[in-house]
Amino acid sequence: MVSTNNACKNNNVNIESPLKWCSVSLGDIISRGKRLEASVYDIEAKQARQLIKSGKFPITTIGGENGLTTSYTGARFKRIWVKKSNLPIYQPSTIVDIKPVPDGYISHLTKTNIESLRVKKGQVLMTCSGTIGKVSYVSETLNNKIFSHDLLRIDCKETVDQGYIYSYLKSKIGNKILLTNSYGAVITHIEPEHLATVPIPNASQDIKNKIHDLIVHSFELRDDSNRLIDEAMKLLIHELNLPEIDALKEQSATDNDVVENFSVRLSELAGRVDASYHVPIVKTIIDHLKKYAREVTTLENSDVCAEIILPGRFKRVYVDEGYGRVFIGGKQLGELDPSNKKYLSLVHHKDRIAKQLELHENMILITCSGTIGKVALVGKQWENWTANQHIIRVVPSSKEIAGYLYVFLLSDYGYELITHYTYGSVVDEIDDNHVRQIPIPLLKNSSVQDKINSLALLANQERYEAYKLEKQALEIMNKEVIYAK
């Protein structure tokens, strides 16, 4: 009857679970829009609704005429993509990233009201198609950014409800109730009108203020961390006299307008005959770095990197929360507190976790399968978490260079140096041997290099503080609102 019955399958490991079922009254079916999908009447969601109903505070709804918010998505439209414009557009899934990057650029000729697609400061955002229920709050980082129509923009009638509703939708109970409203056989959806059926405790003004202030402060710290990373990136670019990446690509391009081509010496093949490995932009970047850096070394140099770890493939055994280590994947590297976390069994994977999978503060993570070259610096909040085998761990030689390495690898120039090693006809891959060969420039001015390093580490510390503030807000939501009697 429900989507989570029978069995769950994880990488060939089948864990049987008892059949879940419940009876549904005709009144419930009518009140839910005469919907017959079992997921709408999920047992756990039913228990969550009952918990909210029997709580300390009166119940209202998130949406609807008498609810706390109004919401909208946007009209569907056909995008006209261009190489570059002042209209970057973002994917809805990136709302949970600390520092989102655009999916591409659209033309002014795109036939839609582009201004209506911009999100505004103070809105609560929620993905409403495909992977639904991811939630974010619009602070300076997202303010005025253009998103597609597949994103629910939630406007709160009262400012104090912004952080409050964000926390409720982030909570396990609130999110579980929300997801029962999804529909769709292939791609799941949720509509603005469904928020009128999502109950929420109408807590006291004092509690709402506490939660809202914590969330706002958390996002302010994220904004400031992004500012620090941008400042560090500007210092790096200025010190190495790096032009825009597009300018370097034009500089390395051939004059042939018919077919893009370039020649490679036999001595430079390095056993690779795929053209992508020999793209001229890589040589142009390296030559430029050698000209302006004190030294161009590689990540295998023990002075900059202590260890590079690529975990082996393995059959995973997942367990419930509280019974194993948090386990994340490459798609979640941009998030502060990754959603949809899984938990890896300590009983089955204890040795592998200790030797290969465990994350520690100031490790640098690089995705090496599928989407290549996503980079993250492990914060204190991820200490002792684990990540899958599609992520390479770079262990810096010391804290004094960890932030600098992260900034360079995060840059457009670092991305080109990482991704040119890509191989694979179906799924793109790189391995630890490739990562060891990535060129790393060491600056002539060591004080500037130290400044870049300290800015990156400070940004990571601010993200940890932001994480703690959000956790504090969620704790208040759970203890003083949802479970309060």
In terms of domains, do 204 and 131 share one? yes
In terms of domains, do 436 and 302 share one? yes
- State the Cα–Cα distance between residues 146 and 91, nearest whole angstrom: 9
In terms of domains, do 371 and 250 share one? yes
Q: Report whether 369 contacts 330 (CB < 8 A).
A: yes
In this predicted structure, what is the pLDDT of residue 13?
45
**Confidence bin at 1 (pLDDT 50/70/90):** very low
pLDDT in tens, 125-163: 999 887 888 999 999 999 999 998 889 999 999 999 999
Domain count, the chain: 3
Q: Report whether 372 contacts 363 (CB < 8 A).
A: no
- State the Cα–Cα distance between residues 140 and 121, nearest whole angstrom: 7
114: domain range?
59-223+467-482
Amino acid at 95: I
Structure-token match 């999978």, residue found: 357
- Evaluate whether residue 275 is within a structural domain: yes
In terms of domains, do 37 and 97 share one? no
- State the Cα–Cα distance between residues 236 and 229, nearest whole angstrom: 11
In terms of domains, do 157 and 300 share one? no
- Evaluate whether residue 53 is within a structural domain: no
In this predicted structure, what is the pLDDT of residue 383?
96
- Evaluate whether residue 102 is within a structural domain: yes
Strands (E), 314-442: 324-328, 342-345, 364-367, 375-377, 386-387, 391-396, 439-442
Percent of the chain scoring above 90 in pLDDT = 70
Name the pairing type of β-strands 342-345 and 324-328: antiparallel
- Evaluate whether residue 190 is within a structural domain: yes
**Confidence bin at 14 (pLDDT 50/70/90):** very low
- State the Cα–Cα distance between residues 414 and 385, nearest whole angstrom: 26
In terms of domains, do 312 and 381 share one? yes
152 bridge partner residues:
126
In terms of domains, do 292 and 370 share one? yes
In this predicted structure, what is the pLDDT of residue 181?
67
pLDDT(90) > 50? yes
In terms of domains, do 64 and 139 share one? yes
In terms of domains, do 104 and 146 share one? yes
- Evaluate whether residue 454 is within a structural domain: no
pLDDT(3) > 70? no
In terms of domains, do 8 and 85 share one? no
**Exposed/middle/buried for residue 165 (C-beta within 10 Å: 0-12, 13-18, 19+):** buried
- Evaluate whether residue 31 is within a structural domain: yes
Averaged pLDDT score across all residues of the chain: 89
Average pLDDT over residues 182-211: 83
- Evaluate whether residue 447 is within a structural domain: no
Closest among 139, 66, 138, 74 to 110, alpha carbons compared:
74
Closest among 442, 129, 407, 190 to 301, alpha carbons compared:
442
pLDDT in tens, 208-244: 999 999 999 999 999 999 999 999 999 999 999 999 9
CATH number for the domain that contains residue 189: 3.90.220.20
In terms of domains, do 425 and 297 share one? yes
In terms of domains, do 384 and 416 share one? yes
- Evaluate whether residue 164 is within a structural domain: yes
